[in-house]
Amino acid sequence: MRILFLGDVMARSGRDAVAKELPELRRRLAVDLAVVNGENMAHGIGMMPDMVEGLFKAGADVVTSGNHVWDRKEVIPYMEGEPRLLRPINYPPGTPGRGLAEVVLDDGRRAVVVNAMARLFMDPLDDPFATVLRALKRYPLGGAADAVLIDFHGEASAEKMAFAHFFDGEVSVVVGTHTHVPTADATVLPKGTAYQTDAGMCGDYDSVIGMAKEEPMRRFVRKMSGGRPEPAAGPATVCGLFVETDDRTGLALSAEPVRVGGRLSQTLPACVI
């Protein structure tokens, strides 16, 4: 199975870039499953229903989120009726929405997407290790699931790495989100799980993690606010991870970074270069 994951979509610049690039990436990479983290689409904080619909229209099969999932209240009733939009699975029982989605491909193969959130320097949610482990008992890789992808939304690289090694050999992909900077460690772990500590953002990198530079710099230098931060509006780089799995086992055969457009160095998987 060919899987494309795109990192946090940041404001209008990111939305426009994903709308432009995702259809072409699906075609060029012959993507079977496309997953996009959309939690920063609405002016950099949260997401609105029409923006989520825009990602589906562009070719996303599942949209994940993170700590900003509830920042736009309009998304809550929409999420209840849209199984393709996820919030972290380790929110307490009774929280609106769901943290796991099943996707049945046209050829009958089944993919499972899980959204989980780390706890170090983040909200103190339920244990993501135990929560995801329980959820995946119904979806053994190579059995009920032909592929399993986990979007692990977190701040600390150590927690993301520990999480990936914990699930190595049990899932197809663990990919980190939240820090808005793509890491250079795309790899297949020893037991066959593809991993990248952070996919990066789909946004303008002439910025401070997607925000226009002036206000963040002012706050760091003067330790006082000069106003509300505004999203950077320049050309966005679409950043993500491309993984190809073995249909017999569900484990990863390769893991390669994707960077298209904007300011960052460009890279596409070897299969299209």
Distance between CA atoms of residues 251 and 99, nearest Å: 22
How many C-beta neighbours within 10 Å does residue 83 have? 14
Q: For residues 112 and 138, is the Cβ–Cβ distance under 8 A? A: no
Instruction: Say if residues 8 and 201 touch (Cβ distance below 8 Å).
Output: yes
Indicate if 68 belongs to the active site: yes
Q: Which residues have a Cβ under 8 Å from the Cβ of 192 and sit 6 or more positions away? A: 168, 169, 249, 251, 252
Selecting among 68, 153, 178, 180, the annotated active-site residue is 68
DSSP state of 25: H
- Token reading at 48: 């609105």
Neighbouring-strand partners of residue 244: 2, 254
CA distance 252 to 29: 16
Residues pairing with 33 in the sheet? 3
Question: Which residues are annotated as catalytic?
Answer: 68
